[in-house]
Structure 1
Amino acid sequence: MSQVYGLVPSEKVSRKSLQSENYAGGKLVAQDDLVLNRLKAHLGVFARAKESGVVSPDYTVLRPIGDISVKYCESLFKAPIYVGEFRRRTKGIVEGFWRLYTDDFYNVTALLPPREEQDQIVAYLRAQDAHIARFIKAKRELIKLLTEQKLRIIDHAVTRGLDPNVRLKPSGIEWLGEVPEHWEVKPLKRWVRINARTLSEKTDPDFEFRYVDIGSVKTGRLVKELEHIRFEAAPSRARRVLRRGDTIISTVRTYLRAIWYVDEDADDLIASTGFAVLTPGKGVEPEYLGYVIQSSSFVNRVTANSIGIAYPAIAETVLGRFLVALPSTVDEQQSIVAHIKSESTPLDDAITRAEEEIKLIREYRDRLIADVVTGQIDVRGWRPGPDDVASDEELAVLGDDETELREDELGDGGE
């Protein structure tokens, strides 16, 4: 079950490790049943079953009694007032293993208007979603365009430098071509240390850190506020220790191009083992390395050498063998960094504004749903207009930036 996409048939999950090999003990679910993930009820993880099947034994399957709209209940139970109530009633010591037991769920009082009004609420919210989805889609397309413009600036600077008259030489790298003749070409592992620091299994259980998973990162930036989590409740993949000056690149689902340069002083940043952490060595300007790893030529080689179709990945040893061309002096690297930052700052500012607008419209949507399903906004007199219609495909944009399911959204607790 996904917090964003609801119940997802196992054949649509790309990670085989997230697919059950044995359905013994599973619970039967019929179309239009309401399914609760008991481990994530305090996050509002409820979903309407769009088809019949079998779900995890750790889920609770709820079937409506009488004339009740499951779509209405799905929205109702995700409202902040209900999520807070479910959180209050969960039991368990560690958050990752909190459970909302069925009897405790049954003790929560539900607001149920007449069926006709329930259907009106569902129709109204879907109509509003149509407008919100179009807004988000337009902002995402703008972000994509701005990101492409920034990458063109980076690509030229890290492959040709700043002197238009510089003499070039063959790099010996088929995918890179010629580079300035005074630049040095070495395997990446000669420029950096890979995965230099790892969180020990003996770490204090109460150690709290900010967790960087694959879904947190897009090319060159973080795309969501990092989750604070204690070591005791952390997934087993939360092990890569980050420091200022590191660059991380995803080695799983490499088509996502999740790359980030760590530009803050912190001792509480831990990344998933789905990343390779590159710590620059002597003679390498850290931020310049970050731009090189973001460049189209490098990323394209990573994706071309990844193994697997549904869940492509690349080994750190293969990554380390990639030849990389760098200016021979740190001074030149720093000059290129200053140029890139100067040229791309207006683009970065525009991307930040667009992301903030998406965040605000999502907050508005959450508030709107809560107000409508709890009767704060009366929609009984509302009538749909011609622009209030959207297909399920169009509404999918209301999910995360990635159409791919994040590994931490699935299963019944995870690692």
Structure 2
Amino acid sequence: MERMKLYPSYKASYLPDMGSIPAHWGEQRMKHSFVEVDERSITGDEEMLSVSHITGVTPRSQKNVNMFVAETNIGQKLCRPGYIAINTMWAWMAAMGVSEYEGIVSPSYGVYKPINETYNPNYLDYLLRTEVYQAEYNRRSTGVNSSRLRLYPDRFLDMRFVCPLRNEQDQIVRFLDWKVSQINRIINAKKKQIALLQEHKRAVVNEAVMRDAWSTRRLKTFLTESKDTVGDKSAEFDLLSLTKGGVIIRDVSTGKGKFPSDFGTYKVVRAGQIIFCLFDVDETPRTVGLSKNDGMITGAYDVFSISDIEPKFLEYYFIAIDDVKGLKPLYSGLRKVVNIDKFLQIQVPIPPITEQQSIVVQLDSQCVGVNKLIEKINTQIALLHEYRTRLISDVVTGKMDVRGVEVPQYEEMTEFTEDIEESDEDVEKTEEDSC
């Protein structure tokens, strides 16, 4: 942790969550530095940009995008270097940033053009996604619940933002770029460790469940679709989510994530049933999971009861298929949907039940150690993320004085990310998503 050096004197901030700011810093409304613009693409040939609370504004080509892709980009909003872009639906989570790129964003996004050079664009980019301003976006957004919250231009432009002198902003950016690069280097090394462990696990699973010598059976002979919905009893069910870590229970009490206003169409899930996501199959991080719990899950997914086969063997088999996105040849349409009748015709290699059970025991034993190690490294990464976030916040809001810090030469490093617009952990898919 950096040794905290304070400014000589402080004063109260206009923002209740900010506390104190350096006495010589100003606070000004955003409307004095930016104005909303609405320029549209004529050709649709510009780079499509993604706007995330994790990485700000970046080219969508660098992302694992798990969302609808329009047939044409004509009419999308233009966004230029130095402009602020705000993902309107996710502004309450600070899904915004200052663009370094020439490109286009969704017509529903807010785009704001600088009218002076008050702010260093990189300083402002750091500042916009700090927790103190995220809380203020949330307060200023309007809507019946989190999934309907919108931060409208007048409410954003009326916000006060801290404003150090420009040369001080420049030094803050130099310092943070250096320290963030150091942290990112450590994070990337740990992510490489995880990638190697996951590759090893994939090889072990694939070798165990893919055998040419076994006879095959169609999926429809041991899967029965379950279409029961929760209706008006959603309060009696835990909310489940399909993730790379399996089928998990979502904690809705935190308010994190985007949920529908009505869960009535969500499907009932019983422990031991298997869940498939049969659309966007090549972008969805994980398309299969065996549930250990009763609960409910979005109606966009397909839920099946299993008979006459070891359920965990079937899950391991489809995880191996999913790791290479083996269902891609079966999908069709813009949303890359796998027709359920076609899906149930898939031939699956099946060993005798005793061998299935033996394989499951073997894989559970081999994977448990790898999973624990991956979990440990992910915990370390989470702590590094927390430290990086706190460091950025402390420096850009004046809790830490870096004016006298000499920044050495260093190699700039960004974090390897797989975030989507927004992340799969934050978005609940709906029936409309699969259309």
Q: TM-score band, normalised by the shorter chain?
A: 0.7 to 0.9
**Is the Cα contact below 8 Å between 2:118 and 2:166 reproduced in 1?**
yes
- SS of 1:111's equivalent in the other structure is strand
Aligned-partner Cα distance in 2 for 1:156–1:28: 49
- SS of 2:239's equivalent in the other structure is strand
Identity %: 24
- SS of 1:148's equivalent in the other structure is helix
TM-superposed deviation, 1:84: 0.7
* 1:286 to 2:311 alignment: yes
TM-superposed deviation, 1:353: 0.8
What's the Cα RMSD here?
A: 3.9
Match of 1:49 in 2: 99
Aligned-partner Cα distance in 2 for 1:344–1:12: 30
Match of 1:352 in 2: 375
- Which residue identity is paired with 1:108? M
Matches within 5 A, 1:3-402: 3=52, 4-7=54-57, 17-19=68-70, 21=72, 28-52=78-102, 55-64=105-114, 65-159=116-210, 176-179=211-214, 185-194=216-225, 196-197=226-227, 199=229, 203=232, 210=239, 212=241, 216-217=243-244, 230-232=259-261, 239=266, 241-251=268-278, 252-254=280-282, 258-268=286-296, 270-271=297-298, 273=300, 275-281=301-307, 283-295=308-320, 300=324, 302-303=326-327, 305-307=329-331, 314-329=338-353, 331-386=354-409, 388-390=410-412, 394-397=413-416, 399=417, 401=418
Match of 2:16 in 1: none
In the alignment of these two chains, the number of paired residues is: 374
Aligned-partner Cα distance in 1 for 2:120–2:237: 41
- Which residue identity is paired with 2:239? R
**Is the Cα contact below 8 Å between 1:245 and 1:279 reproduced in 2?**
yes
TM-superposed deviation, 1:80: 0.6
**Is the Cα contact below 8 Å between 2:219 and 2:347 reproduced in 1?**
yes
**Is the Cα contact below 8 Å between 2:87 and 2:110 reproduced in 1?**
yes
Aligned-partner Cα distance in 2 for 1:34–1:333: 55
TM-superposed deviation, 1:292: 2.0
**Is the Cα contact below 8 Å between 2:142 and 2:149 reproduced in 1?**
yes
**Is the Cα contact below 8 Å between 1:36 and 1:47 reproduced in 2?**
yes
Higher mean C-alpha displacement, 240-249 vs 315-324: 240-249
Pair 1:205–1:106, CA change in 2 (3 A): farther
Higher mean C-alpha displacement, 101-110 vs 224-233: 224-233
TM-superposed deviation, 1:128: 2.3
Q: TM (normalized to structure 1)?
A: 0.75
Aligned-partner Cα distance in 2 for 1:131–1:301: 34
Aligned-partner Cα distance in 1 for 2:328–2:59: 29
Aligned-partner Cα distance in 2 for 1:285–1:129: 47
TM-superposed deviation, 1:119: 1.5
- Which residue identity is paired with 2:51? S
1:204-230 CA-to-partner distances (Å, cap 9, x unmatched) read 7878863636xx426x67799886655
**Is the Cα contact below 8 Å between 1:90 and 1:100 reproduced in 2?**
yes
Which structure 1 residue ranges, 5 or more long, are not aligned?
Answer: 160-175
Aligned-partner Cα distance in 2 for 1:310–1:126: 39
Which structure 2 residue ranges, 5 or more long, are not aligned?
Answer: 1-49
- SS of 1:379's equivalent in the other structure is coil
Pair 1:29–1:295, CA change in 2 (3 A): closer
**Is the Cα contact below 8 Å between 2:275 and 2:288 reproduced in 1?**
yes
TM-superposed deviation, 1:89: 1.7
Pair 1:228–1:136, CA change in 2 (3 A): same
**Is the Cα contact below 8 Å between 2:137 and 2:156 reproduced in 1?**
yes
Aligned-partner Cα distance in 2 for 1:337–1:33: 53
Pair 1:158–1:16, CA change in 2 (3 A): closer
Q: TM (normalized to structure 2)?
A: 0.72
Aligned-partner Cα distance in 2 for 1:207–1:157: 39
- Which residue identity is paired with 1:247? I
Aligned-partner Cα distance in 1 for 2:270–2:118: 56
- SS of 2:270's equivalent in the other structure is coil
**Is the Cα contact below 8 Å between 2:240 and 2:249 reproduced in 1?**
no
TM-superposed deviation, 1:123: 2.2
Aligned-partner Cα distance in 2 for 1:153–1:408: 27
- SS of 1:357's equivalent in the other structure is helix
Pair 1:88–1:208, CA change in 2 (3 A): farther
1:380-407 CA-to-partner distances (Å, cap 9, x unmatched) read 1223334x322xxx5151x3x3579868
**Is the Cα contact below 8 Å between 1:209 and 1:228 reproduced in 2?**
no
Higher mean C-alpha displacement, 362-371 vs 320-329: 320-329
